[in-house]
Structure 1
Amino acid sequence: MPPPADRAPLPAPDSEPERPTLKTIAAATGLAIATVSRALKDAPDIGEETKRRVRETAARLGYRPNRAGVRLRTGKTNVIALVLSTETDVMNHTSRLIYSIANALRGTAYHLVVMPFFPDQDPMEPIRYIVETGSADGIILNQTKEDDPRIRYMHDHGFPFAAHGRTAMGIDHPYYDFDNEAFARLGVRAMADRGRRRLFLVAPPRAQMYANHMIHGFSDEAARLGLSFEVADTVNSDSGGDAVDAAVHARFRQPDPPDGLLVGSTTAGMAAIAGAEQTGRMLGRDFDVVGKEAIPLLRRFRRDILIVREDVGRAGDFLAKALVAAIEKRDWTERQRLEVPMQVETGPGPDKGEQA
């Protein structure tokens, strides 16, 4: 029976455009199917110009790999999971880390998923879920501990991972870390050069490995220079702005208040300055603050703050590439990297242009 006059006939099922395949891309580029496949996987033996041509052709044709088929054929998901705590503050480097990892994976066969875990949740839960279900090919994690059960679990199960931070476990694995001991030593010397003699540290949570590095560098360098020093014991650099503000304000109202502060996060730096200023002190005149940041922000808050920059973009790029190499069992000449800060940037006051 013909369709009603006011209704167009439905297209036959076999008239829909065929989904592009590796064979389609190979025909369009004149390359072998195997070459196309390896180019899309960012294989090191395929030239960059060939990879670019294959990716552009794939994008133009609307090619998307059949993930179910890929997993059945290879056992891989082509997914990398970034496991992050929801405690991470919006002012820190999390957004930059996510962007840089995702950007490093562009043009490869891998896609990024972010899996959060909550303060009241066992940090092992998302790790076990991913490993046991095979829902990703590898994991990137941060907030490493001196003895980190997540790393031991993945290592024991032979599951590929890379860490933004180090441990003291003796396990060899890909990592990228910022040298927080060097950061603390630089900060102490910069404040000593400006005549500061009573130093105060708002450190990261002590369970995390980089807190140990920062506290050691701070206390050892201050002692070496004969300076008075103390570490905040009621708050840490992840405590949130209100808590850090209140703690620093209270300390500045006590006898012998500090005249130099080292802080472990951007948010803590801003809050510490606010807390001190509420007691009538002026930054750059009565006290100095050394903070670190991944995204330029602190100078817009106060021009006289002392800054050490952390290249989180480089960290994300490195971690993504090192993890892909581990997943694919490829040699990677540099599986571990430690970013060592070299200078403290001063504000535009009397010392404008100086590098401490």
Structure 2
Amino acid sequence: MTEQQERMPAQPGGASERPTLKTIAFMTGLGITTVSRALKDAPDIGADTKERVRMVARQLGYQPNRAGVRLRTGKTNVIALVLGIDEEILGFSNQMVVGISEVLAGTPYHIVVTPHAHTKDPMLPVRYILETGSADGVIISRLEPEDSRVSLLMERNMPFATHGRTRLGEPHPFHDFDNEAFGYGAVERLVARGRKRIALLPPPSKLTYYDHLRAGFSQAMTAFGAQEVSLPINIDASLEEIRTMVQGLMSGPEAPDGLVLSSGSSAIAANAGIEAAGKRVGRELDLVAKQGTPILKWVRPEIITAHEDVRQAGRELAKAVIARIDGIEPSLLQSISQPRWD
């Protein structure tokens, strides 16, 4: 038993009774109001006091009574992350959650993941959150140019932030990756290696970042005089479909000598198809891929990679949605990260 635990006041119902604000106040020698405001990161409470209160709260395993908080304030202290549950083998989703959690750790908020399959109606999870009042803010991804979810969230005045952009007239908080710069840089690097017949495995054309990626890719193809080899699928195809398609393509007379992939998992599948066709990255063709973790370099060091810091994206999105809850203007809560070429 620690010294602090020995000094704890007797709890009704025994030692298993959950700690309360009153318990933390007793342990710290502070008033209950001060403890409450410290846990809410109130600006008028000193940093040392906040840290002392949080340390004791962690040691006691304190968790706010969410039902009580909601009854008193109308708030849930929940940020809902609507996250795709589709196949992702390189940790994109995990890195996003980690980044968001790092920011929320210093606030009263916590993250609740609302899983969603991209094959289903994307409005369903957003409508559920709005109808149940189960969150104070929302983070969504897979943005479309005229995204109905964004329009609905703005209409209902729900604080939110998006991983990606729209073309809607009214500004909203977002963090995005510069896919136009990635597309241009990918072609530029392939041409520098002597590649001229280049294929792009893009995201679905309904998503906004398809337009950004395609714009950068096309601009570079024209600038460097390269020829595009069309592909019949996108990265929403299963990994087996991507592997089979690439194997067939690389086995035929129209095989490209350069390939640009807009996700890390599709690069794993494409590499398997290339090798099944008896070819090898860095020999008959070069491959450029976007990735959120360094695993591709472990599989094939020859792959040219651009790092997308998904963890940092999670941090930016969490900060943006909290700021929006606090009333900060949406136009001040927009950011874009650049690819880091490995």
Do they fold alike, i.e. is TM over 0.5?
A: yes
Partner of 1:9: none
Residue 32 of structure 1: how far off its partner (Å): 3.9
Over residues 149-176 of structure 1, what are the superposed CA-to-partner deviations in whole Å (9 max), with x where a residue is unaligned? 0010000110011111111112312111
In structure 1, stretches of 5+ residues that fail to align are 1-12, 346-356
Distance across 1 between alignment mates of 2:263 and 2:296: 10
Q: Relative to structure 1, is the Cα distance of residues 235 and 46 closer, same or farther in structure 2, using a 3 angstrom cutoff?
A: farther
Q: Relative to structure 1, is the Cα distance of residues 62 and 268 closer, same or farther in structure 2, using a 3 angstrom cutoff?
A: closer
Distance across 2 between alignment mates of 1:26 and 1:14: 17
> 1:276 corresponds to which letter in structure 2?
I
> 1:163 corresponds to which letter in structure 2?
T
Partner of 1:144: 143
Residue 15 of structure 1: how far off its partner (Å): 5.1
> 1:299 corresponds to which letter in structure 2?
K
Among candidates 319, 338, 341, match of residue 339 of structure 2: 341
Q: Relative to structure 1, is the Cα distance of residues 15 and 99 closer, same or farther in structure 2, using a 3 angstrom cutoff?
A: closer
Q: Relative to structure 1, is the Cα distance of residues 45 and 222 closer, same or farther in structure 2, using a 3 angstrom cutoff?
A: farther
Distance across 1 between alignment mates of 2:262 and 2:128: 31
Distance across 1 between alignment mates of 2:330 and 2:35: 23
Partner of 2:100: 101
Partner of 1:20: 19
> Which secondary structure state, in structure 2, belongs to the residue aligned with residue 64 of structure 1?
coil
| Superposition TM-score, scaled by structure 2 size | 0.90
Over residues 109-166 of structure 1, what are the superposed CA-to-partner deviations in whole Å (9 max), with x where a residue is unaligned? 1111111123453111111111111011111111111111001000011001111111
Instruction: Give identity over the alignment, percent.
Output: 45
Distance across 1 between alignment mates of 2:214 and 2:233: 14
Residue 19 of structure 1: how far off its partner (Å): 4.7
Q: Relative to structure 1, is the Cα distance of residues 14 and 254 closer, same or farther in structure 2, using a 3 angstrom cutoff?
A: closer
Q: Relative to structure 1, is the Cα distance of residues 15 and 313 closer, same or farther in structure 2, using a 3 angstrom cutoff?
A: closer
Among candidates 251, 255, 258, match of residue 257 of structure 1: 255
> Which secondary structure state, in structure 2, belongs to the residue aligned with residue 52 of structure 1?
helix
Partner of 2:38: 39
Partner of 2:233: 235
Distance across 1 between alignment mates of 2:28 and 2:331: 32
Partner of 2:321: 323
Within a 5 Å distance, the mapping from 1:1-356 to structure 2 comes to 14=12, 16=14, 19-232=18-231, 234-330=232-328, 334-342=332-340, 344-345=341-342
CA contact (8 A) 1:89 1:240 kept: no
Distance across 2 between alignment mates of 1:334 and 1:119: 29
> 2:158 corresponds to which letter in structure 1?
F
Distance across 2 between alignment mates of 1:328 and 1:285: 54
> Which secondary structure state, in structure 1, belongs to the residue aligned with residue 120 of structure 2?
coil
CA contact (8 A) 2:171 2:331 kept: no
Distance across 1 between alignment mates of 2:300 and 2:103: 33
CA contact (8 A) 2:138 2:160 kept: yes
CA contact (8 A) 1:240 1:267 kept: no
Distance across 1 between alignment mates of 2:49 and 2:236: 46
CA contact (8 A) 1:88 1:238 kept: no
> Which secondary structure state, in structure 2, belongs to the residue aligned with residue 322 of structure 1?
helix
Q: Relative to structure 1, is the Cα distance of residues 283 and 132 closer, same or farther in structure 2, using a 3 angstrom cutoff?
A: same
Distance across 1 between alignment mates of 2:195 and 2:321: 43
> Which secondary structure state, in structure 2, belongs to the residue aligned with residue 89 of structure 1?
coil
> Which secondary structure state, in structure 2, belongs to the residue aligned with residue 199 of structure 1?
strand
> Which secondary structure state, in structure 2, belongs to the residue aligned with residue 114 of structure 1?
strand
Residue 31 of structure 1: how far off its partner (Å): 3.4
Which segment drifts farther, 115-124 or 48-57? 115-124
The count of residues paired between Structure 1 and Structure 2 equals 331
The structure having more radius of gyration, on CA atoms, is 1
Q: Relative to structure 1, is the Cα distance of residues 35 and 322 closer, same or farther in structure 2, using a 3 angstrom cutoff?
A: farther
Partner of 1:350: none
Q: Relative to structure 1, is the Cα distance of residues 258 and 111 closer, same or farther in structure 2, using a 3 angstrom cutoff?
A: same
| Superposition TM-score, scaled by structure 1 size | 0.87
Partner of 1:348: none
CA contact (8 A) 2:180 2:216 kept: yes
Distance across 2 between alignment mates of 1:103 and 1:172: 26
Q: Relative to structure 1, is the Cα distance of residues 21 and 15 closer, same or farther in structure 2, using a 3 angstrom cutoff?
A: closer
Over residues 303-331 of structure 1, what are the superposed CA-to-partner deviations in whole Å (9 max), with x where a residue is unaligned? 11111101011011111121112123257
Residue 81 of structure 1: how far off its partner (Å): 0.8
> 1:273 corresponds to which letter in structure 2?
N
Distance across 2 between alignment mates of 1:71 and 1:292: 42
> 2:121 corresponds to which letter in structure 1?
D
Distance across 2 between alignment mates of 1:71 and 1:86: 29
Residue 247 of structure 1: how far off its partner (Å): 1.3
Q: Relative to structure 1, is the Cα distance of residues 125 and 331 closer, same or farther in structure 2, using a 3 angstrom cutoff?
A: closer
Q: Relative to structure 1, is the Cα distance of residues 211 and 44 closer, same or farther in structure 2, using a 3 angstrom cutoff?
A: farther
Cα RMSD (Å) of the superposition?
Answer: 2.1
> 1:207 corresponds to which letter in structure 2?
K
Over residues 84-124 of structure 1, what are the superposed CA-to-partner deviations in whole Å (9 max), with x where a residue is unaligned? 22224233511111122122211321111111123453111
